[in-house]
Amino acid sequence: MSNISVAEILELPVQERIKLVELIWDSVAAVPEAVEISPELKAELEARLKEFEANPDAGYAWDEVRARLKDGSWRTA
């Protein structure tokens, strides 16, 4: 791998930096088993999954969440 400095990255146009981040993210997502999850986080995720499975209608639909994020009404909830 060739070395590139942060200064060189910052010289790139924003769109190229975004593309670089996307490429890096895709490379990480391609091997999810390589990402270590702490026992605490794993326990939290398992607890949330159990809670969801016990009552799947308790949350909000994605359309509602997106609408509230767009109009700012999430701030008053």
Q: Where along the chain do its domains lie?
A: 1-35, 37-76
Say if residue 77's pLDDT is above 80. no
Question: What is the per-residue pLDDT across 20-42, written as a single tens digit (0 to 9) for each?
Answer: 999 999 999 999 899 999 999 99
Confidence of residue 72 (pLDDT cuts 50, 70, 90): confident
DSSP letter for each residue of 16-74: HHHHHHHHHHHHHHT-GGGS---HHHHHHHHHHHHHHHH-TTSS--HHHHHHHHHHTGG
The model's confidence at residue 59, banded by pLDDT at 50, 70 and 90, is confident
pLDDT score of 1 more than 70: no
**Residue 14 or 59, more confident:** 14
